[in-house]
Structure 1
């Protein structure tokens, strides 16, 4: 049986640790199911904290205010996420993220990278997730974003020109609204063929099983 083409929209935010787990696990699943699935992956923007001001907020304070979680609960969740990340091949920073930042400029840069190609966009996404969740870097910083673009093999000067402008702001906001109106209110959300939804940072086995099933039905 030949591999079936599938469109995958991966809706996520750079600030979301489960999105780092989910993307890594999805890529594992795609490698394992290459005999049945020929996927095109489109990274779609979602902002967990669109009103976050410059400078961000301490992650402990933010999680306590948003979810009512205690430091002990936060530490337990960090351990769970770190373990799931290791299973998916993603290494989280031992001390966590430190601060929560606005990610809109990162999404603008990802939109620009997507215009260069699917592989370039995914490479940049991996670099941004590693910079923030793996090294606890300031992901609102244009210097950090430019370095991530260069590490992904993209033109650093062109990336900086995007960051220092308002390019692709309208496109990102329009895409965010499209997914909100489609009912996406938590991330990561994996939408296959604009019809099937796989929610959350699932293990690679779950993604693989779902993709094989969808490909078979297709």
Structure 2
């Protein structure tokens, strides 16, 4: 078989699987789940994976100025301060294993993410959805930035290649507010109650699963096509 025929044959053997990831940019297990998904993808042969992000707000009623993160977690989940410390330590370790830095401090704040989700939707219209999502994860967890602040959001938008002026206008006018709300509602109606949730083929996979588990679901979805 000629080299070009082998190339065509190889391309035809490739299968594409879409992984729909429902997540929030202030959800630590969401970035862990994303990183584990990347590890899973590396193990797959002849399967190309397209990742599509979908909005979910952990705290849709979070005030504009946010809330102290530790205080919020203790109140929301009914855990002690010691348990909160232990949870952070587990996340930091999980991040280290995957090459992601969680830099929690006593001043870390839980933030409203509705503007951030609108910005991600705008980025998706420009083919920069994944870059925008990762930039927001890094800004919040590693750099300790306020991802509800207009200036921060515009700066991050520009850093991934979006037009600064257009990004600012999108956020100020809430151009995509309704479509984001509708998509959030759609996924909740489909039974999504926690994030991250990966929808792979016809399977919903909740939680930051290990790479091997995610790889198995992706392979199964490919085989069912």
**Does TM-score exceed 0.5, indicating one fold?**
yes
Distance 1:143 1:196 in 2: 39
Distance 1:174 1:212 in 2: 31
- What 5-or-longer segments of structure 2 have no aligned partner? 1-9
Number of the residue aligned with 1:197? 204
Match of residue 63, structure 1, among 70, 73, 80: 73
Number of the residue aligned with 2:39? 28
Q: CA deviation at 1:84?
A: 1.2
Match of residue 182, structure 1, among 168, 171, 190: 190
* CA distance 1:97–1:31, change in 2 (3 Å): farther
Cα deviation 1:24-67 (Å, max 9, x = unaligned): 2212322332x332222111000010001111011121111111
Match of residue 86, structure 2, among 76, 79, 85: 76
Runs of 4+ in 1 over 3 A off after TM superposition: none
Distance 1:96 1:145 in 2: 23
Q: Which has the higher contact order (CA 8 A, sep 6+)?
A: 1
Distance 2:58 2:186 in 1: 15
- What 5-or-longer segments of structure 1 have no aligned partner? none
TM-score for the superposition, normalised by structure 2 = 0.90
**Secondary structure of the structure 1 residue equivalent to 2:133:** helix
Q: CA deviation at 1:89?
A: 2.2
Distance 2:106 2:38 in 1: 23
Cα deviation 1:133-184 (Å, max 9, x = unaligned): 1111111101111121122222222211111111100000000010000000
* CA distance 1:79–1:197, change in 2 (3 Å): same
The answer to whether the 8 Å contact 1:88/1:204 transfers is: no
Number of residue pairs the alignment of both structures matches: 214
Number of the residue aligned with 1:7? 18
TM-score for the superposition, normalised by structure 1 = 0.92
Match of residue 217, structure 1, among 217, 220, 224: 224
Q: CA deviation at 1:97?
A: 7.2
Distance 1:96 1:180 in 2: 32
Structure number with greater Rg is 2
